[in-house]
């Protein structure tokens, strides 16, 4: 079994794609150089394969990060849209309430003005009644005074407190 090279079974996986186990070699420099070149080539291929895997893993990682960023951005956009919609609805409700309150305030103010006008009208009517009674009482006093003058009698109720 001198000078034979055995290959490990593919079931065992290592960081290198193919691993070679060299058996003890017989005397001969030509075989050593050939084996060494083959092993170097295998190591180089394993290194390239490892770099390829690492590059693929890095690309996958970047892709997943980008997907996560896009998903988060989409959800943030949805939340912002929801917030703006709710704010607009509440602001519209506030404006509607304010308009209702302004309308009620105007109606109440109009009612109060009408009540004030009615009170003023009633006061004017009462003043007119008082003035009319005063005028009647003055005319009656003048008539009674004229009657007393014509008859020469004195009024019986003169200065009633004496």
pLDDT tens for each residue of 41-91: 999 999 999 999 999 999 999 999 999 999 999 999 999 999 999 999 999
82: left (phi over 0), alpha (psi -120 to 50) or beta: alpha
Q: In the chain, how many domains are there?
A: 1
Please state, in angstroms and as integers, the Cα–Cα distance from residue 158 to each residue in 69, 79, 93, 128, 142, following that order.
110, 96, 77, 29, 15
Domain of 108 in residue numbering reads as 28-115+117-141+145-151
**Which residues, 6 or more positions from 43, have their beta carbon under 8 angstroms from its beta carbon?**
16
What are 15-23's contacts with CB under 8 Å, separation 24+?
Answer: 15/46, 15/50, 16/42, 16/43, 16/46, 16/49, 16/50, 17/45, 17/46, 17/49, 18/42, 18/45, 18/46
**Structural domain contains residue 162:** no
**Structural domain contains residue 34:** yes
Q: What is the pLDDT of residue 27?
A: 47
Q: What is the pLDDT of residue 87?
A: 98
Q: Running DSSP on this structure, what letter comes out for residue 27? A: S
Average pLDDT, the chain: 84
Average pLDDT (29-45) is 73
pLDDT tens for each residue of 8-17: 544 444 444 4
The whole-model pTM stands at 0.45
């Amino acid at each position: 079994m001198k000078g034979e090279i055995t290959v490990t079974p593919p079931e065992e996986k290592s960081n290198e794609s193919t691993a070679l186990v060299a058996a003890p070699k017989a005397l001969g420099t030509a075989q050593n150089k050939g084996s060494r070149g083959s092993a170097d080539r295998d190591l180089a291929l394993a290194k390239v394969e490892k770099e390829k895997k690492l590059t693929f893993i890095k690309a996958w990682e970047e892709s997943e990060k980008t997907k996560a960023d896009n998903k988060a951005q989409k959800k943030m956009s949805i939340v912002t849209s929801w917030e703006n919609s709710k704010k607009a609805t509440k602001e519209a409700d506030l404006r509607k309430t304010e308009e209702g309150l302004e309308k009620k305030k105007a109606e109440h103010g109009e009612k109060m003005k009408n009540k004030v006008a009615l009170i003023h009208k009633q006061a004017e009517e009462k003043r007119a009644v008082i003035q009319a009674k005063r005028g009647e009482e003055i005319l009656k006093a003048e008539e009674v005074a004229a009657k007393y003058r014509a008859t020469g009698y004195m009024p019986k109720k003169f200065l009633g407190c004496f």
